[in-house]
Amino acid sequence: MRNKIKFIFIISIMIFALSGCNKEEAKDETTEMLSITSTADLLNNVWDTFSEDEKFSVMGGDYENSVENGAGIFNIEDTENLTYMLYLPVDNVAMIDEAASLIHSMNANTFTGAAFHLVDPEEADNFVVALKENILSTQWMCGFPDKMVIFKVNGEYIVSVFGNAEIIDNFKTKLMEVYGESAVVVAEENIA
């Protein structure tokens, strides 16, 4: 009888220890999923969760760093292009050290996504206000985007998206799933 009790006790300890290991592995996977190596990586992590039925033709980056079917890095020294394509006010370019884009190939008003890495995360609120005002005050040439959302991710990245409301809501859902509590919506507006 004593041997049976010892055996059950040892098996219980082993099961408890193994279940603790599994929990630790799950934590490591979550931490790995949240790591961001670049602004393009941040956008691609979200884009990669779109099913084939949800995807549409996209391009990323600027003219020198063009990427098909994914996000690409923007040369932040080309302030005119950065302002024209990603709607970042010229006065705020010095607040970032990296940018990337993910834009609908046929019509930027259908979907434009941008990610910015802040030099000083303490300036996030000022950056968001300027970016939001610039997007909302744009005189659109070919139709109006329906909706705009701006996120703060990991406290140091700002992501702006605008375009078709259904696409924007889907992107928002997926970004929140990918980055969880480290992603916060800081601005959301209907444009049209």
Largest pairwise CA distance in the chain: 85
Secondary structure letter of residue 98 according to DSSP: E
Looking at residue 168, its pLDDT comes to 96
For residue 9, name the pLDDT band (cuts at 50, 70, 90): very low
Domain range annotation of the chain: 1-34, 36-190
Looking at residue 25, its pLDDT comes to 44
Q: Are the C-beta atoms of 89 and 83 separated by less than 8 Å?
A: yes
Task: Take residue 77 and report the two structure tokens written for it.
Answer: 């020294």
DSSP helix, strand, coil percent of the chain (3-state; round to 5): 45, 25, 30
For residue 26, name the pLDDT band (cuts at 50, 70, 90): very low
| pLDDT over 50 (residue 7) | no
Task: Take residue 96 and report the two structure tokens written for it.
Answer: 């970032």
Distance between CA 55 and CA 2 in Å, rounded?
A: 63
Q: Are the C-beta atoms of 143 and 155 separated by less than 8 Å?
A: no
| pTM for this prediction | 0.81
Looking at residue 3, its pLDDT comes to 52
- DSSP letters of 125-153? HHHHHHHHHHHHT---SSS--SEEEEEEE
| pLDDT over 80 (residue 181) | yes
